[in-house]
Amino acid sequence: MLKSFDFVVVGSGVGGATVAKELSVRGFNVTVLEKGGYHKLGTSWRALSFYTGSFWNFCPGEMSDGEVEVLRTIMVGGSSVVTLGNGVRALQKEFKSLGIDLEAEFIEAEKELNVVPMPEEFMGKRTKKLMDASRELGYDVKPMPKFVNFKKCKNCGMCVTGCRYGAKWTSQRYLREARKAGAKILTGVSVEKVLHSGGEVKGVRVRGSSSFSDIEAENIVLAAGGIGTPIILQRSGLTHAGSNLFLDLFVSTFGMLKNGGMRDEISMATLIDEFHGYDFGHVFIFAFFEETPCV
Ligand SMILES: Cc1cc2nc3c(=O)[nH]c(=O)nc-3n(C[C@H](O)[C@H](O)[C@H](O)COP(=O)(O)OP(=O)(O)OC[C@H]3O[C@@H](n4cnc5c(N)ncnc54)[C@H](O)[C@@H]3O)c2cc1C
């Protein structure tokens, strides 16, 4: 067994970084174990190598058996680094109908992440074309709420390769706060499974380059993402983990527009509320170059 820690947090995405920050500022001894590393952000589509799955054919993602493309990244900050900065309230009505009112939590999160409506002057001409067409069809199109600091944003449209200007909120900010409060962030450490005996958690087994080692911990927080966490749980003996996986589905409707590529303007700049919800996921409309490889 290696060193003993109060709290081991597995994964440094939104989930792991938030827990690590909250615990360490309250004085707990926290160590984050992160499988990925730091990457140069927003430089080129080659940066997509930190997505799991096939990046060589430019369309990242793992395919499920049912041919649903699943996107996630293995890196410090997890998928928060590659978001489009959309800070949309999700499932608020549905939770309310179950007696859970999340209004105060949404307000707190929006304040902390500085969520603002996408300013009209940042909308590119393709976005405006799509917006006009949607309005003509009678849809109520609104600017997308974004956790982006538009004073720093250069409108390069490279959000999904990570923002090199530091304009977009990512969980790396919480990791910095956690580190300031004393947390350790260990990168390149892949957790294999949770060690337990007699119904009690004892630690985690981590994979090194050629061997495994064990880390003792009193409390373990698994935050390796919707796919990474069930994999660890399955290897730890919970064979049914992940069988109720819920995916944040969205349907993309592509339109062919001559020279209509979205790369040099921010994608998902607008929102139509009636297309956003639990029943059908989210529907987004994109314009792409006629010869774009991803269509
Ligand atoms: C392209 C894209 C765009 C998105 N855009 C938006 C958006 O605009 N707005 C929005 O709200 N949401 C968006 N999302 C969704 C959002 O990013 C995720 O829901 C959120 O980041 C998930 O956080 P998480 O901490 O649960 O998991 P993750 O971000 O997946 O973090 C899990 C972490 O665990 C690490 N890990 C995995 N396995 C192991 C292991 N065995 N050992 C150690 N570490 C491990 C990973 O490297 C990763 O750092 C987007 C997602 C993608 C992929």
Domain assignment present for residue 198? The answer is yes
What is the whole-number distance in angstroms between the Cα of residue 290 and the centre of ligand 1?
30
229: closest CA among 219, 242, 218?
A: 242
3-state secondary structure of 137: coil
Domain assignment present for residue 261? The answer is no
- pLDDT exceeds 70 at position 3: no
Could you tell me if 224 and 74 are in contact, meaning their C-beta atoms sit under 8 angstroms apart? no
106: closest CA among 145, 76, 154?
A: 145
Domain assignment present for residue 270? The answer is no
What is the whole-number distance in angstroms between the Cα of residue 134 and the centre of ligand 1?
31
Domain assignment present for residue 133? The answer is no
- Write b or e for each residue in 2-12: b if 16 or more Cβ atoms lie within 10 A of its Cβ, otherwise e: eeebebbbbbb
- HSE (side-chain half, CA atoms, 13 Å) at 95: 10
What is the whole-number distance in angstroms between the Cα of residue 58 and the centre of ligand 1?
19
Total domains in the fold of the chain: 1
Range of 33's domain? Answer: 1-83+170-242
Q: Which atom number of ligand 1 is nearest to the Cα of residue 192?
A: 41
Strand partners of residue 216: 4, 203
What is the whole-number distance in angstroms between the Cα of residue 226 and the centre of ligand 1?
8
Q: Which atom number of ligand 1 is nearest to the Cα of residue 79?
A: 29
State the pLDDT at residue 254: 66
Burial degree of 41 (CB within 10 A; 0-12, 13-18, 19+) = buried
Distance separating the N- and C-terminal Cα atoms of the chain:
50
- Measure the CA–CA gap between 255 and 245, rounded to whole angstroms: 31
Nearest CA to ligand 1 atom 19: 79
What's the mean pLDDT in 115-144? 90
Residue range 158-207, pLDDT digits in tens: 898 899 999 999 999 999 999 999 999 999 999 999 999 999 999 999 99
- Write b or e for each residue in 179-197: b if 16 or more Cβ atoms lie within 10 A of its Cβ, otherwise e: bebebebeeebbbbbbbee
Domain assignment present for residue 192? The answer is yes
Residues with beta carbon inside 6 Å of ligand 1?
10-16, 33-36, 71-72, 74-75, 78-80, 82-86, 160, 190-191, 223-225, 228, 232
Q: Which atom number of ligand 1 is nearest to the Cα of residue 189?
A: 43
How many other CB atoms sit within 10 Å of the CB of residue 215?
Answer: 22
Domain assignment present for residue 255? The answer is no
Q: How confident is the model at residue 262 (pLDDT cuts 50, 70, 90)?
A: low
* Residue in this structure with the two tokens 């390149």, named with its chain if needed: 188
How many other CB atoms sit within 10 Å of the CB of residue 200?
Answer: 8
Q: Which atom number of ligand 1 is nearest to the Cα of residue 232?
A: 41
Distance of CA 23 to the CA centre of its chain: 21
Domain assignment present for residue 109? The answer is no
Domain assignment present for residue 50? The answer is yes
Residue range 92-106, pLDDT digits in tens: 888 999 999 999 999
What is the whole-number distance in angstroms between the Cα of residue 77 and the centre of ligand 1?
8
How many other CB atoms sit within 10 Å of the CB of residue 38?
Answer: 13
Residue range 218-251, pLDDT digits in tens: 899 999 999 899 999 999 999 999 888 777 666 6
* Cα Rg of the chain, angstroms: 21
Q: At residue 141, what is the residue type?
A: V
For residue 205, what is the domain's CATH number? 3.50.50.60
Name the token pair of 257: 């527009």
